[in-house]
Amino acid sequence: MNRRQFLRAGGLVAVGTVAGCAGSRGDDSPRVTTDSPAATGETTGSATTDGSTTTTETTAGDHTPGAYTVQTVAEGFASPWSLEPLADGRLLVTEQGGRLQLVDPAAGTVTRVPGMPTVFARGQGGLLDATLHPEFPAEPFLYLTYSAAGEGSESTTHVGRGRVDLDAPRLRSFERLHAAEPFVESSGHYGSRIAFDREGGLYVSVGDRQFKNFGPDHHGQRLDTELGAILRLEADGGVPADNPFVDEPDARDTIFSYGHRNVQGLARHPETGAIWASEFGEQDGDEVNVLRRGDNYGWPVADEGCTYGSGDPIGVSHSDRADVTAPVVSWPCGSGGFPPSGAAFYDGDGFPEWRGDFFVGGLASRSLVRIGGDRETAAVEQVLLAEREWRLRDVATAPDGSLLVAVDDDPAPVVRLVPA
Phi–psi pair at 357, nearest 5 degrees = -85, 155
Give the model's confidence band at 58: pLDDT under 50 very low, under 70 low, under 90 confident, else very high. very low
In whole angstroms, give the CA distance from residue 188 to residue 403.
29
- Could you tell me how far CA 256 lies from the centroid of its own chain? 19
What is the per-residue pLDDT across 62-116, written as a single tens digit (0 to 9) for each?
678 889 999 999 999 999 999 999 999 999 999 999 999 999 999 999 999 999 9
114-337, what's its fold? Neuraminidase (2.120.10)
Q: What pLDDT is attached to residue 46?
A: 38
So what's the pLDDT on residue 65? 85
Please give the Cα distance from 210 to 248 (Å, whole number). Answer: 26
Write the DSSP assignment of 169-224 as a string of letters: TEEEEEEEEEE-S--BS--S-----EEE-TT-PEEEEE--TT----STTSGGG-SS
Distance CA 61, CA 42 (A): 12
pLDDT of 41 strictly over 70: no
pLDDT at position 39 is 28
Domain spans, the chain: 114-337
Residue 185's closest CA among 159, 210, 207? 210
DSSP labels, 98-156: S-EEEEETTTTEEEEE--PPP---STT-SEEEEEE-TTTTTS-EEEEEEEEE-STT-EE
Q: Specify the pLDDT at position 50.
A: 37
pLDDT value, residue 61: 54
For position 66, what pLDDT does the model report? 81
**45 pLDDT more than 60:** no
Whether the per-residue pLDDT at 369 is higher than 60: the answer is: yes
Query: Given its phi and psi angles, is residue 318 left (phi above 0), alpha (psi -120 to 50 degrees) or beta?
Result: alpha
Q: List all residues 6 or more positions away from 234 whose beta carbon is below 8 Å from its beta carbon.
A: 200, 201, 202, 240
What is the side-by-side strand order in the sheet with 379-384?
340-345, 358-362, 368-372, 379-384
Q: Which range has the top average pLDDT, 18-22, 305-309, 413-417?
A: 413-417
Whether the pLDDT of residue 49 is over 70: the answer is no
pLDDT tens digits, one per residue of 190-233: 999 999 999 999 999 999 999 988 999 999 999 999 999 999 99
Beta bridge partners of 158: 146, 179
pLDDT tens track for 255-303: 999 999 999 999 999 999 999 999 999 999 999 999 999 999 999 999 9
Identify the CA nearest to 400 among candidates 90, 64, 148: 90
Quote the CA–CA distance of 295 and 235 in Å, as a whole number: 22
Q: What mean pLDDT is reported for the chain?
A: 87
Q: What percent of the chain has pLDDT over 70?
A: 85
